[in-house]
Amino acid sequence: MSGSTRTVVVVTELSNEVLSGGNNVKVMPEQSNDYRVVVFGAGGVGKSSLVLRFVKGSFCEMYIPTVEDTYRQVITCNRNIYTLQITDTTGSHQFPAMQRLNISKGHAFILVYSITSKQSLEELAPIFALIREVKGNLEGIPMMLVGNKSDEEESREVPYQDGMNQSHKWNCNFMETSAKNNTNVKEMFQELLNMEKSRNVSLQSERRTLAQFRKEKMKGKCLIM
């Protein structure tokens, strides 16, 4: 398996004032104003499923190991267009140089384990240590610990409280999700981006009207539809 990466850009419709014809898929070069979210976790915990559920609204039961995929979704901030770049990393430890590069370029991090595998939570410890080593001071860096596959309660190995306790040790936020049932997927990204202070990025609620969207945009918030 090679160490090459693939970039998929999902351009979603924000409003008639910003974009039109949502759900187009294009390939675009990396931009300096990309906001980079890096997703780490062991193989099979559902990293790709979470990302695909968020950017495409789809779920696939089949497990296909990832080397590295990058999904990019357009947002608007202060009347400027930015790109939310989500890097879905490999669950393998074969590419340490890629891990370091992703950490050095990342603005925010999601650490995913499966509630059905205690080992998958334990395997996040060296990833967190590497993030701390590369980034140094983690204060102000948005980070989420995510327990995926909450729909498989009967196979749970990691109690909810264990995930919460680990997040307290790492001083990051915590949430359980289900990519299959679309539980807390958008909320996961919302909470992560709400931690970002420098750009005030947030997700646009589907229930908000266009008038509310315009009002938020005038306030300088960054929105994703």
The amino acid occupying position 7 is T
Q: What pTM was estimated for this model as a whole?
A: 0.74
Question: Per-residue pLDDT tens for 120-139?
Answer: 999 999 999 999 999 998 98
Is the sign of the CA dihedral 182, 184, 186, 189 positive or negative? negative
- Phi/psi zone of residue 182: left (φ > 0), alpha (ψ -120 to 50 degrees), beta? left
Residue range 72-91: mean pLDDT, rounded: 74
Specify the pLDDT at position 155: 97
The amino acid occupying position 78 is N
Question: Per-residue pLDDT tens for 57-67?
Answer: 877 776 555 55
CA dihedral 176, 98, 48, 186 (to 10 degrees): 50
Specify the pLDDT at position 104: 93
Percent of the chain whose pLDDT exceeds 70:
64
> CA 52, CA 40: separation in Å to the nearest integer?
15
**Could you give the C-alpha distances from 93 to 123, 138, 208, in angstroms and in order?**
10, 23, 42
Token reading at 219: 């306030």
Q: How far is CA 67 from the centre of its chain?
A: 16
Q: What pLDDT band is residue 1 in, cutting at 50, 70 and 90?
A: very low
More confident residue, 211 or 137: 137
Question: Per-residue pLDDT tens for 152-204?
Answer: 999 999 999 999 999 999 999 999 999 999 999 988 988 887 787 655 565 55
Q: Is the pLDDT reported for residue 213 higher than 60?
A: no
Token reading at 113: 């384990």
Q: Tokens 């196979």 sit at which residue?
A: 155
Residue range 38-49: mean pLDDT, rounded: 92
**Range with top average pLDDT, 6-15, 89-98, 138-147, 158-167:** 158-167
Q: Tokens 């410890």 sit at which residue?
A: 125
